[in-house]
Amino acid sequence: MSIELNARIPEGPIERKWERAKFEMKLVNPANKRKHSVIVVGSGLAGASAAATMSELGYRVKCFCFQDSPRRAHSIAAQGGINAAKNYQNDGDSVFRLFYDTVKGGDFRAREANVYRLAEISVQIIDQAVAQGVPFAREYGGLLDNRSFGGAQVSRTFYARGQTGQQLLLGAYQALEKEINAGGVTMFPRTEMLDLVVVDGRARGIITRNLVTGAVESHAADAVVLASGGYGNVFFLSTNAKGSNCTAIWRAHKRGAAFANPCYTQIHPTCIPVSGDHQSKLTLMSESLRNDGRVWVPKQKGDQRPPNQIPVEERDYYLERRYPSFGNLVPRDVASRNAKEQCDSGHGVGPGGYGVYLDFRDAISRLGEARIRERYGNLFEMYQRITDEDPYHVPMRIYPAVHYTMGGLWVDYNLMSTIPGLHVIGEANFSDHGANRLGASALMQGLADGYFVIPLTIGNYLAQGGLTPVTEEHPAFAVARAGVEARTARLLATRGSRTVDSFHRELGQLMWNKCGMARTAEGLREALDEIPRLREQYWRDVNVPGSGDSLNQSLEKAGRVADHFELAELMCRDALHREESCGGHFRVEHQTPDGEALRDDEAFAYVAAWEHRGDDAEPVLHREPLAFEQVHLTQRSYK
């Protein structure tokens, strides 16, 4: 049966929609909450905060993560900060300005109502985190400090040096551990979701594999929440943790959850450049560094002189030149495309010319090394350990890399997918960032969804009734479990000649070249020809050593890469159909005379939600029109 996209956006003025929605929601009384069970897949910021908060409300929660501890979720890697419209700097910020900046930053491809709610809740997140003891940076007088991030002309980003994600995750982790100790949350570490179980059209459980013992197990519940993160590792090289994967959301997609805007991937402009084929991942250098660092390249092509020997007049501070209003703090997609353009034209620096300079000389001269060390000390130390270059005395070399995915499972205003009972939060859904996420907004969305949205909206779903008792003995669980076991057996039985990583690297290179920073119709068609051939070869020639009844990391990777192949094809299909450029989706055929992204609002102002119709059938495209009532559609400009 075909899916229906009903966004369920409340009526009324945008500033009243969330309040109205909360008032109109059906409620579950405290005694009845204890009768309901909820599964949460993922224990990063979104998952941990959701599991802890729902348990505090009285729901019986099972929380799953493939790491050995929730503290190792990839949220811990976030560095620069978290946005909130507190206006502590008295510089003109407001909830509406954060809303506007986010819609504009996403190149007008996000749902207004969801974005406004995010901006509205942002102020509560900071209060929540401070109450938990998150050690945000403070000014000399003790007030919370702020810094700027790309795409904004105000300072609204709260931060804890370069460890903001870690500190916020520890806050959510403490809340989660409190509920585990109280018995409200049962934690399943080292456990990976491998399928979603749908009973009578509703999400009623999951199939998992214990990554230590290999046991395939069933878990039933009244509702399922996916908080499993993004799919940037499709590209092999990314700033994501190596374990980050698309399996949870992809298996849900194959069970009927629409996948929205899969081609919207974010390339972060400040990462340590690739140093060789030996690398398995890339390292992020926080966007916060662009507060004080200046980006430049030599004006002379192929200039091999050490950076400190190149005079100022022979340097091109190209972001400041092209975008005088925002300078080095343009959004990530703009900064990334400009860096690629400089390198492609022969102005790049470092090995192979794949790098631009991020220079702190002027900031150190103005503020002193001690102040810069206080702001970015751990980031500078990390850079020096990796490159053996001292950024206090030599400019950093940076180059764009895959970092985040704005696409994800389609959700309505209540964060429920097209499968009733399946809710999706954080980076795993598509809802808030359009075609480009602004820096410091991922932590904001994860915690908004987990602490403040899903605990209310899941109650609204459960209170509507209609849930029949379902246990792990239901036939649907046996069917799903048999499918997981058969797939595992097939991977182990292939015994081909190539490793999982060799296939993954080849897929990643193909995706970077054909569906990366710059995309063409010709390149995307080539990818759509090559990916199925490579996938067929994978299932014929991959070698997965070991067995399935014990710890086997090759088997873990094999299943994830198999899902990457299928998702990669959908990403290219989505990018090919979208004949425009917007945010992180840059089609070379569609650009302004000065090289900026050129949207086609008449034809493409919609969310592209893809429905899976079977492994041998083409996916079906559904469209959710985007209405812009508060922010007028204009050509995005940061000049």
Distance CA 425, CA 54 (A): 14
Give me the chain's average pLDDT, please. Answer: 97
Can you give the C-alpha Rg of the chain in angstroms?
24
pLDDT attached to residue 278? 86
Phi and psi at residue 602, in whole multiples of 5°? Answer: -65, -40
Residue 463 has pLDDT above 70, yes or no: yes
pLDDT attached to residue 277? 84
Q: Could you tell me the pTM of the whole model?
A: 0.97
Task: Encode 62-110 in three state secondary structure.
Answer: EEECCCCCHHHCHHHHCCCCEECCCCCCCCCCCHHHHHHHHHHHCCCCC
Contact (CB, 8 A) for 242 and 281: yes
Single out the catalytic residue among 60, 97, 322, 332: 332
- What's the half-sphere exposure (Cβ side, CA atoms, 13 Å) at 14? 19
Percent of the chain past pLDDT 70, that is, above it, reads: 100
- Band of the pLDDT at 159, cuts 50, 70, 90? very high
Residue 378 has pLDDT above 70, yes or no: yes
Contact (CB, 8 A) for 40 and 62: yes
**Size (the chain), residues:** 639
Distance CA 44, CA 501 (A): 25
- Band of the pLDDT at 35, cuts 50, 70, 90? very high
Q: Which of 269-273, 274-278, 502-506, 630-634 has the lowest mean pLDDT?
A: 274-278
Domains of the chain, with CATH numbers?
268-401 (3.90.700.10), 475-613 (1.20.58.100)
Residue 97 has pLDDT above 60, yes or no: yes
Residue 309 has pLDDT above 90, yes or no: yes
Distance CA 378, CA 384 (A): 10
Contact (CB, 8 A) for 570 and 620: no
Percent of the chain past pLDDT 90, that is, above it, reads: 98
- Band of the pLDDT at 161, cuts 50, 70, 90? confident
Residue 2 has pLDDT above 80, yes or no: no
Residue 1 has pLDDT above 60, yes or no: no
% helix / strand / coil in the chain, to the nearest 5?
A: 40, 15, 40
Stretch 248-268: mean pLDDT: 98
pLDDT attached to residue 275? 86
Contact (CB, 8 A) for 154 and 92: yes
Stretch 332-358: mean pLDDT: 96
Chain mean position to CA 583:
15
Q: Which amino acid is at 633?
A: L
- Whether 540 is a known active-site residue: answer no
